Amino acid sequence: FPEILSNPRLIPVQGTLNVVMNQNVTLSCYPDSGSPPVTYTLFKHNQKVSTLNRPDLIPGLFNLTISSASDMGEYKCKAENNIPGGGKYSNSLNFTLIEPISKLVLSSPTSQVKKGQKVTLSCLSETGSLPITYIFFKGKQNISPPVKMQKREAAVIHLFINSSSDLGTYKCKAENSFRNNTKYSNSFNFTLADERRHSQPLLISLGLVLLLLLIGFALAIPFFIIPSYKASE
């Protein structure tokens, strides 16, 4: 007697639901039990995509191309045999579109610093699928644990510039779920501010104030000395 099909299983043949744009993927739909022949129908958002007829219980294979965001919807398959009302639906699948990191920017609000100053470094990738993991370097030395960002926000670290050895070249790198796509940022260097150069405007200002005081005192002498001299006569 014909046997009713079990609920089919829908799985990605490539083993992952993470895909890149324009990738070809294959979905396999098959029941564990039931009588052939079997008709497999693939649906996306409850709309029919394709139909396959098999004379046996060999899985139905559906080939797709992920060419736009509209291809990322929910997929299901239905398996039917000759038993009326015996059609069964599978689990649902959703692809996740992953995008490589293309550009990484390392920046700071200031590049000129003084000894003992606290500084901030920010590393941001404006492209690439989330989450993104950032790591900061000074030269070739790792100076931070991995910072995993779930939002499109910069990873930030704080440093103290205590000596000239802290003025080296800084970089950051970023990785996401896209395979073999580690990206490094631009280089960033702090420079030590010249304290003497910063003190020159202050000295000039003090000198001008002193000069104005002397001029004012010189102009005031006639108003104080001459009247007193006439009074003594």
The tens digit of pLDDT for each residue in 94-133 reads 998 889 998 999 999 999 999 999 999 999 999 999 999 9
Q: Does pTM top 0.85 for this prediction?
A: no
- How far apart are the C-alpha atoms of 63 and 27, rounded to whole Å? 7
CATH of domain 8-97: 2.60.40.10
Tokens 């390392």 belong to: 106
Equal fold, 8-97 vs 103-192: yes
* Residue 52, pLDDT above cutoff 50: yes
Secondary element (H or E) of residue 205 = helix 195-232
The domain locations on the chain are 8-97, 103-192
Adjacency order of strands within the sheet including 23-30: 9-12, 23-30, 60-66
Share of the chain above pLDDT 70, in %: 87
- Sequence letter at residue 45: H
Distances (CA, A) of 166 to 159, 170, 198: 9, 10, 21
pLDDT mean across residues, the chain: 88
Distances (CA, A) of 161 to 46, 114, 123: 60, 7, 19
What confidence score (pLDDT) does residue 198 get? 46
Please tell me the class of the 103-192 domain.
mainly beta
- How far apart are the C-alpha atoms of 174 and 124, rounded to whole Å? 9
Give the Cα-Cα-Cα angle 38, 39, 40 (nearest 5 degrees): 115
Q: Which two tokens stand for residue 107?
A: 């920046």
What confidence score (pLDDT) does residue 193 get? 86
Share of the chain above pLDDT 90, in %: 65
- How far apart are the C-alpha atoms of 172 and 120, rounded to whole Å? 13
